[in-house]
Amino acid sequence: MASQDLNHGTIKLSRGTAAHIWRPQQSPYKAIVVLQHGYAEYAERYITSHHNIINHLVSANYIVYAMDMWGHGSSPGTRGIVHIGKAIQDHQELRRLAHDQNPNLPIILFGHSLGGLVTAGSTTADPTHIKSVLLTGPALVEPLPYAARLAVGVISRVIPKWSVPGRKGALEGLTRDTSEIAKFRDDLLVHNDAISFLLAATALDAMQGIAAGMGEWTVPTMVLHGNMDSYCDWKASEKFVKGIRSEDKTFGVYEEGRHELLHDLEGDAVLERVLGWIGGHI
């Protein structure tokens, strides 16, 4: 299905954050997938990259809801400057909207990278109406020592938009598919800036909330990660899956896999696994 053939609409959430809805051409619809993009990208990138997963989901008769985080894509704000706690609130609002508009459909959450952190934070804050959760390469950050965490918090309040030193990754860490790297580099809606102190501090706060809620996490969950991901630590994903209370949980690690698994060299197998998981949990 070509992107121009998709039944696409846009809405604004209460803070002004932009969100997208893609509906299949024909009903009955199977379920809703709430998709959350990662840092530096935007929702519509999942039409032409990430194995064109929005196209596959819509073709399989899933409605897709997806927001552009503040500072990303069509949303307002300085590029890349996002408060993760507010992004989690936006995500919850989008979930409620998706449920209210389609009260009889199950909801699956899908989050990649920083979107995985937002999705996990949204789930721990409010697990209602969630059928299952699927994360790829999630940015599940480890806590810092007290002094370092205090310093990050102070800097984030004084100069929130400053970049964290040493936190800019090489594009080659995204995927081994050079055509996808070229697409990323040429895309005017993405950027390759280091994360800000505001993002870092609020991500640590969000992870604290996630860690506190893992013992109550009973939603079926699958997490996939490449063990050569230079952006997000695969061992943190493994630790997370082991720590949640859900009896239906899966952790998949891909040897030599990079950060964006869906269009890395094993992308076909990852897509099949993702679609299989979603189909098996509705």
H or E element, residue 252: strand 249-254
Other beta carbons within 10 angstroms of residue 190's beta carbon come to: 20
- Give the chain's count of helices (H) and strands (E): 9, 8
pLDDT band at 203; cut points 50, 70, 90: very high
Two tokens at 96?
A: 């409620």
Instruction: Determine the pLDDT at residue 44.
Output: 97
What is 3-280's CATH topology? Rossmann fold (3.40.50)
Two tokens at 199?
A: 């993002």
**Residues 102-152: pLDDT tens digits?**
999 999 999 999 999 999 999 999 999 999 999 999 999 876 655 555 665
**Residues 209-256: pLDDT tens digits?**
999 999 999 999 999 999 999 999 999 999 999 999 999 999 999 999
Specify burial of residue 16 (Cβ count, 10 A radius: 0-12, 13-18, 19+).
exposed
Rounded average pLDDT over 67-90: 96
Which spans in the chain are helix H? 45-48, 53-59, 84-101, 114-125, 146-158, 178-186, 197-213, 234-243, 267-280
174/228 Cα distance (integer angstroms): 10
236/209 Cα distance (integer angstroms): 15
Instruction: Determine the pLDDT at residue 2.
Output: 44
Two tokens at 208?
A: 């604290």
Q: What percent of the chain has pLDDT over 90?
A: 80
Rounded to whole angstroms, the maximal C-alpha distance in the chain is 56
DSSP code at position 230: S
Domain boundaries along the sequence of the chain: 3-280
CA distances to 92, 102, 109, 148, 262 from 121, rounded to whole Å, are: 9, 23, 12, 22, 23
108/53 Cα distance (integer angstroms): 14
H or E element, residue 227: none
138/106 Cα distance (integer angstroms): 23
User: Quick check: 65 pLDDT over 80?
Assistant: yes
